[in-house]
C-alpha cells in the first residue's frame, strides 16, 4: 500500500486531468477496508485524487459502502446517517453491536446528513447522545432517547431500535417539511 501511495504522490503534480485513486491490493473485507481507508484517506486528505475505487475480495456492494464511508469520514461527502457508537467496555449492559447493525440497516435509505449516537452506557453515553442530532444512552436493559440534546423518553432494550428509527424518521420528515416551507434556496 505504501508504494502505491508514494507513486500517487509523485504522479499527482504531473497530471492535469481527473486523477483516479485505488488501492488494488484487494484483501478480505476486513483487511482490504483498512488498507483502502488508510491509503485513500492519506491521499484524499492531502487533496490528491478526483475519483476513487475500493477493491475488496467480497461483494462489490461492500466496496461502494466502504468508499462512501471513507468520503464521509473525511467530510468530503456528508450524505447519510453518521452512526457514532462506543466500543465495548465493562459498563456495556445491552446488545449494542446488534443494535448498531440493525440501526444502520434500517437507516441506510436516509439521505440527510445527520449524526446518530448509539451509546452503550449511562456514563459516557449521555454526553455523546446530547451532541448528536439523535441518540440513545443505554443502561441495564433500557435506553434514554435524546433529540437535539434533550432526553425525550426511556424505552426498554427491546424497543430501542424501533423507537430510535421511528424518532429518526420523524426528525427527517420534519427537516424535509421545514425545507419545503422555507422555499427554494437562492444559490
The string of pLDDT tens digits covering residues 137-147 is: 998 889 999 99
Which domains does the chain show, CATH number per domain? 2-73 (no CATH), 81-182 (3.30.413.10)
The string of pLDDT tens digits covering residues 65-84 is: 999 899 988 988 778 898 99
DSSP 56-104: ESS-HHHHHHHHHHHHHHTTS---SEEEEEPPP-TT--S-HHHHHHHHH
Rounded to an integer, the average pLDDT of 120-143 is 89
Specify the pTM.
0.74
User: What's the grid cell of residue 7?
Assistant: 507513486
Amino acid at each position: 500500500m505504501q508504494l502505491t501511495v508514494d507513486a500517487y504522490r509523485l504522479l499527482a503534480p504531473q497530471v492535469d486531468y481527473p486523477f483516479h485513486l485505488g488501492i488494488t491490493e484487494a484483501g478480505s473485507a476486513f483487511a482490504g477496508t483498512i488498507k483502502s481507508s488508510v491509503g485513500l484517506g492519506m491521499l484524499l486528505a492531502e487533496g490528491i485524487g478526483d475519483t476513487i475505487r475500493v477493491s475488496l475480495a467480497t461483494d462489490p456492494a461492500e466496496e461502494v459502502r466502504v468508499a462512501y464511508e471513507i468520503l464521509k469520514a473525511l467530510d468530503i461527502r456528508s450524505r447519510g446517517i453518521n452512526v457514532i457508537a462506543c466500543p465495548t467496555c465493562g459498563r456495556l449492559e445491552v446488545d449494542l453491536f446488534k443494535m448498531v447493525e440493525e440501526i444502520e440497516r434500517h437507516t441506510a435509505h436516509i439521505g440527510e446528513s445527520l449524526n446518530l449516537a448509539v451509546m452503550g452506557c449511562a456514563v459516557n453515553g449521555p454526553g455523546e447522545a446530547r451532541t448528536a442530532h439523535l441518540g440513545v444512552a443505554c443502561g441495564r436493559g433500557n435506553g434514554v432517547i435524546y433529540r437535539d440534546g434533550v432526553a425525550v423518553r426511556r424505552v426498554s432494550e427491546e424497543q430501542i431500535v424501533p423507537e430510535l428509527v421511528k424518532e429518526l424518521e420523524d426528525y427527517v420528515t420534519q427537516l424535509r417539511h421545514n425545507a419545503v416551507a422555507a422555499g427554494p434556496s437562492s444559490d
